[in-house]
Amino acid sequence: MATRGGGAARALGGSSRCRLGHSLTPHLVCAGAADAIEFYKAAFNGVELTRMPGPGGKPMHASVRIGDSVLMLVDESPEWGMLGPKAFLRESRILMMATSFDRKVVMPQLDRITQQPEVMGGKACIRGMRVTVGMVVGQIGAGHSLDEVLADYPYLEREDIMQALRYAAWRAEEREVVLASA
């Protein structure tokens, strides 16, 4: 399958033909992309491949090779609707999801939502109890008030319900992409 341009593949010494299953090429939008590039160069022995400056000298497009993979970056451009995670945090004051390099998922403001394989088959639950987010959101969706849900589930707290709603909103906006194995 040919890729448009093929720059990333050629930068790795390959062709412009995509090799499925070989690597993932993420494209990050972040405030301070120039600082991020320097970090990736220092922390991961990254090699800067391209940097195209935009207004104010901020990277409009940049790519860094780390090992055999390419990471593409661009600085935030609110005027074009390109916002990094920090901008979303400032706007919503809800940390939806952040990942660290060791791939642990951190949701500090959703600390009441748990997922454990041994509880309800790994579904999102409230504080490790056998009460799923889906059950709570379903009650609200059916027209029950928060007070009615709290009366039906006396071991729940108002914040449990609010976090369940935040979690459901986040999941509704997320898109999971299944990658075919090579």
Which structural domain range is residue 54 located in? 7-93
Whether 86 and 11 map to the same domain: the answer is: yes
The last residue of a domain, from among 93, 128, 158: 93
- CA separation for the pair 140, 46 (Å, rounded): 49
Task: Write down the pLDDT at residue 56.
Answer: 85
The number of domains in the chain is: 2
pLDDT at 182 (0 to 100): 47
- Residues 87 and 124 grouped into a single domain: no
CATH number at residue 126: 1.10.10.10
* DSSP H or E stretch at residue 36: helix 33-44
Q: Which residue has the higher pLDDT, 1 or 110?
A: 110
pLDDT of residue 178: 59
Residue 35: give its domain's CATH number: 3.30.720.100
Residue 44 pLDDT grade (very low, low, confident, very high; cuts 50, 70, 90)? confident
Rounded-to-integer distance, Cα 61 and Cα 67, Å: 20
Task: Identify whether 180 is part of a domain.
Answer: no
pLDDT single digits (tens) 81-140: 777 776 655 444 433 333 333 333 444 478 899 988 888 888 999 999 999 999 999 999
pTM of the predicted structure, to 2 decimals: 0.41
What local confidence, expressed as pLDDT, does residue 13 receive? 53
Domain match, 118 and 152 both: yes
What interhelical angle do 158-173 and 133-141 show, nearest 10? 90
Residues 128 and 74 in one domain: no
